[in-house]
Amino acid sequence: MQIVHYPHPALRWKSKPVTEISAELRADVARMFELMYEAKGVGLAANQVALPYRLFIVNASGDPELADEELVFINPEIMKRTGSEEGEEGCLSLPELYGQVRRAEEIVVEAFDLSGVGFKMTLDELGARVVQHETDHIDGVLFVDRMTDIARRELDGPLDDMEGYFRRQQEAGKILGDEELKRQLRDLETK
């Protein structure tokens, strides 16, 4: 398992609801936390590791020593959004790219945890931003899609460079072609 980078097809995949919390899923979540901390992140969605499932993890502190701040959101739904504020975002699948994104100031989210227990949380500040960002991921939406057209154009060059690098890796046989990657995602959906 590894974090996939733009323009990997998993990043545009509308993820499938989780129907069973298995030992394999728990192991995937544990590995996702390891990868998130290695990459110095605060959130990671399943499709960022090429798993087409509606789940993501968050530790807004970004500190692996603060395990009590680790949250797992399975089949999350944002039920309410209040206010609006702009803030800088980045993404582990778009390394070293940052941009201003407008998000709700406060949200109410419902989800299930890794034990299958439903919960409801009201979040603001960084927690609200991270949950909105990760919820977008499982819907196949990237933070650059939420930027203004003018701000987004400033990232066109770096995005083109990322895509060029990805395609060269595919041509060299280091990354599978898009159709094979999509087939893998479809196969995982039927598990």
Instruction: Note the pLDDT of residue 16.
Output: 95
The reply to whether 60 falls in a domain is yes
Tens digit of pLDDT for each residue in 2-41?
Answer: 999 999 999 999 999 999 999 999 999 999 999 999 999 9
The reply to whether 1 falls in a domain is no
Instruction: Note the pLDDT of residue 129.
Output: 96
The reply to whether 98 falls in a domain is yes
- Looking up residue 44, the CATH number of its domain turns out to be 3.90.45.10
For residue 121, what is the enclosing H or E element? strand 118-124
pLDDT at 119 over 80: yes
The reply to whether 2 falls in a domain is no
pLDDT at 190 over 90: no
Q: Give the residue numbers spanning the domain of 50.
A: 9-189
Q: Which of 101, 153, 155, 159 is nearest to 132 (CA)?
A: 101
| Residue 65 annotated as catalytic | no
Tens digit of pLDDT for each residue in 83-100?
Answer: 999 999 999 999 999 999
The reply to whether 105 falls in a domain is yes
Q: Please state, in angstroms and rounded to a whole number, the distance separating the CA atoms of residues 180 and 162.
A: 20
Number of domains in the chain: 1
Q: Which of 85, 86, 110, 134 does the annotation list as catalytic?
A: 134
| Predicted TM-score (pTM) of this structure | 0.93
Q: pLDDT over 90 for what percent of the chain?
A: 97
The reply to whether 146 falls in a domain is yes
The reply to whether 3 falls in a domain is no
Paired strand residues for 53: 16
